[in-house]
Amino acid sequence: MKLQKIVNRLQKLHPKEIDLSLDRIKTLCKKLGNPQDEINCIQVCGTNGKGSTISFLRSILKEADIKCNIYTSPHVKRINERFVYNDEMISDDDLADLLNKIEETNNGQPLTYFEALTAAFFYGCKKYKDNLVIAEFGLFGRGDAVNILKKNLCNIVTSCSEDHLDWLPKNDQTIERIIFEKTSSLLNSNIIVAKQTSDEITNCIKKNISKNAARKFFFNENYNFVLKENNFFYYEDSYGGLRIPKPNLNGNFQLENASTAIATLRILKDINIKDHHIIDGVQKASNTARLEEIKSGKLKDLIRNNRLILDSSHNPGGSKVLNEYLQTLDCNKHVIIGMMANKDHEKYISYFKDITSLTTIDIPNQPNAISGEKLKEKFKCIPNVRYKKSIKEAIQSIHLGEDDLLIITGSLYLSGEFLNLN
């Protein structure tokens, strides 16, 4: 209750949910003693794959007994998920104390909710200042509150695609503008660029960072992997090759995220990551609601022995890799989808092929979500599309045959709703 009251007050400090500017958080962090200047940070930007890449980094570093502070957003179930210190998610009481410090220091000045959380994370790092920090920054990097560091260890650029276009000028809603926003202000330490969905996107990133003095490492040029038989992949860079068992995370695209994490940690020689840390860490990585197979719970019980996969893909790039994975499965596939209103719904659904049934639903308690009925109208291109009000109603309405698969996808907010109900 104490934590929620503070959160409610912080959410009222600015009329906008998002206001892309660094002035307010710089002013606040200065009052806090600029804690962001004291951290050793790996920064991660991009559109898709940030969460999984961070999961691989964290798992490998844990095998090497290197403690981490980690900042990600948004959360799936609880706001505490965004704040990891010393490899542990923060408690309600500690988070309340941290946010209370921010509220008192800010003293009622205009501040977005995300800026408050980001300042709180940086301030919380003071207690664990010897730890390695991994911080995700997103939406559009130039104005993202995480992007106030003067130095870092490296920048990771994951797969870039079209998302959050409504935050760009209507005449400039392009992938080129997205890449400019995400990469034009990267620091000049090390830049690791993950596999992109096209050569055009890779070349656009190269052009945009061409004047950046950082050491640059590109997938397929400076590091690579090859999927081998017998459930392993072979990773290779200038430091040599590694034979690594496939991770437990579903989807071969996860090999791209794992390889990006490996490349990053091998470049940062002072961290002293050994081959066995990488091999063990890749296998143990986990990531909530990213092609996650749900094996138990109240909602899972409704479908008994059928497989249930929860996935948070919500943009065309995420839909593409989700459906590449689904195409590898020889079974009937039933899909439940709920989405936010500002997404490219038609392009998202265009990647779905050979779907047995599709059910759209509402996402409760999300005023910025599109209604399931409106989503159904946009998905008329899919045969057998229908609407149900809730997750439970949708699950109960689907007639699953033996070995049929159920997928719930379309939004991180929907994933959080599912996990709370389950």
Q: What is the pLDDT of residues 341-365, one digit of tens each?
A: 989 999 999 999 889 999 999 999 9
| Of the residues 259, 284, 309, the one at which a domain ends | 284
| Of the residues 226, 258, 284, the one at which a domain ends | 284
Split into its structural domains, the chain has a count of: 2
Domain that holds residue 369: 292-421
Cα four-point dihedral sign 31, 33, 36, 37 = positive
Cis peptide upstream of residue 15 (ω within 30 degrees of 0): no
Say whether pTM exceeds 0.85. yes
Contact yes or no for 313/287 (Cβ under 8 A):
no
Per-residue pLDDT of the chain (422 residues; tens, 9 = 90+): 799 999 999 999 988 777 778 999 999 999 999 999 999 999 999 988 999 999 999 999 999 999 999 999 989 999 999 999 999 999 999 999 999 999 999 999 999 999 999 999 999 999 999 999 999 987 665 768 899 999 999 999 999 987 555 656 677 678 888 888 889 899 999 999 999 999 999 999 999 999 999 999 999 999 999 998 888 999 999 999 999 999 999 998 999 999 999 999 999 989 999 999 999 999 999 999 999 999 999 999 999 999 999 999 998 889 999 999 999 999 999 999 999 998 999 999 999 988 999 999 999 999 999 999 999 999 988 888 999 999 999 999 999 999 999 999 999 999 999 999 99
Cα four-point dihedral sign 223, 204, 174, 111 = positive
Alpha helix segments (H runs only) across 125-253: 175-183, 199-208
Residues 114 and 251 in one domain: yes
Contacts 24+ apart (CB under 8 A), 17-24: 17/112, 17/113, 17/114, 18/112, 18/114, 18/139, 18/167, 19/112, 20/139, 20/140, 20/142, 20/143, 20/144, 20/167, 21/143, 22/143, 22/145, 22/147, 22/148, 24/109, 24/110, 24/111, 24/112, 24/115
Q: How far apart are CA 256 and CA 272, in angstroms?
A: 22
Residues 412 and 298 in one domain: yes
Q: How far apart are CA 67 and CA 84, in angstroms?
A: 10
Residues 249 and 369 in one domain: no
The closest alpha carbon to 161, from 190, 191, 202, 192, belongs to 202
Residues 178 and 78 in one domain: yes
Q: How far apart are CA 20 and CA 293, in angstroms?
A: 36
CATH number of the domain at 247, please: 3.40.1190.10
